[in-house]
Amino acid sequence: MEEHNIITKRNNVVSSSSSSSSSMLVLIICSVLIHWSIVHTPQAEAARAFFVFGDSLVDNGNNNFLATTARADSYPYGIDSPSHRASGRFSNGLNMPDLISEKIGSEPTLPYLSPELDGERLLIGANFASAGIGILNDTGIQFINIIRIREQLEYFKQYQRRVAALIGEQETEDLVNQALVLITLGGNDFVNNYYLVPFSARSREFALPDYVVFLISEYRKILESLYELGARRVLVTGTGPLGCVPAELALHSRNGECAVQLQAAVNLFNPQLVQLINQLNSQIGSNVFISANAFTMHLDFVNNPQEYGFVTSKVACCGQGAYNGIGLCTPASNLCPNRDLFAFWDPFHPSEKANRLIVDKFMTGSTEYMSPMNLSTIMELDSRI
């Protein structure tokens, strides 16, 4: 009987050990399957990741999570969006990154600061943009707490660490290398820095031509950092016709003519940015950086609004004062009933319809708009790799 009990105990131990080993094996298999499913989900394979850096033209809600006045989180912003609610986009509806996501067959990127950006959603990409920022750290200081471009790049590093923990370092490197990147900077360095107030610190430090050279030298460092962080397809937008936005017309225009000083600044900045992009591509030996001529894209409908279905390109849909260009767009502002008839949504930002026209040029525009190639050509070339 004692021998029988000993044998029984031994069998129980073996059974327990076998059961434990089986459980461990099941856990390992489940872990591997979960990892595989994350990497190989239809969403992950359907479209390339998309990363966005820059200012309010491309911010889709990061500033909602910051203590700053540079926000678009209340009515009537977002009035024409699918949810009809303000999301932090400086638009009546969708903005440029949303529309590019549509074109490349991807879900819209989430703001990097959003708690919803986690797990599998990280594989779609992320939007790091923050309204009010510029190339320079002292641009937009009046907005206090915004994500300056160097901080955006630090968040990009953090993003890559988070994704590596999810899918592995090599898969993360591939995801970033194959991603599309959009960066939009420069406008605020004039509007919210050099020309912010008469005799600003930067205007006393630099004559305008020298200031532009300084901006370009700093932008070079930013683009080089993006490349070092793995970006291999980067759409770089020049600045639009800053002197023609309703806010500047309200301040500087008597008869609707564009503000001369700001137009002069843009005409210095944009050609030097294109030159920088060409230099970088030549050094790298590949067309990593793509120049998007935002100036001409905007000027098309600024000069000929009726041709594009607008009734005006001078008066903002939402605002007050001359050209609806004074102050912010708020619930108390004048609000046009049909946003599709206005090229500008608020004193500074295009309407969704105008954004759609701009993104159409991104996709199919000639080399006058997109150099050395448009986004459709990029997607076709990259699909063969």
Among 56, 87, 91, 291, the active-site one is 56
Active site residue 84: no
Catalytic residue (one of 59, 346, 351, 371): 346
With a CB cutoff of 8 Å and minimum separation 6, the contacts of 271 are none
If one counts every other C-beta atom within 10 angstroms of the C-beta of residue 44, the result is 19
Whether the Cβ atoms of residue 302 and residue 242 lie closer than 8 Å to each other = no
Quick check: is 346 catalytic?
yes
The active-site residue, picked from 189, 349, 351, 371, is 349
CA torsion 187-188-191-195 (nearest 10°) is -110
Question: For the chain, what percentages of helix, strand and coil (3-state, to nearest 5) are there?
Answer: 55, 10, 40
CA distance 125 to 110: 8
Distance from the first to the final alpha carbon of the chain:
73
Q: With CA atoms as reference, report the closest residue to 215 among 130, 296, 134, 144.
A: 134
Phi and psi at residue 374, to the nearest 5°: -90, 175
Is 51 in contact with 126 (CB distance < 8 Å)? yes
> What letter does residue 54 receive in the DSSP assignment?
E
Q: Cβ of 346: how many Cβ atoms within 10 Å?
A: 29
349 is catalytic: yes
Supply 304's token pair: 């000929």
Which one, of 265, 274, 276, lies nearest residue 209 by Cα? 265
The single residue listed with the structure tokens 């031994």 is 10
Amino acid at 364: T
Of the candidates 242, 256, 262, 250, the residue with the CA atom closest to the CA atom of residue 325:
250
Q: Could you list the active site residues?
A: 56, 346, 349
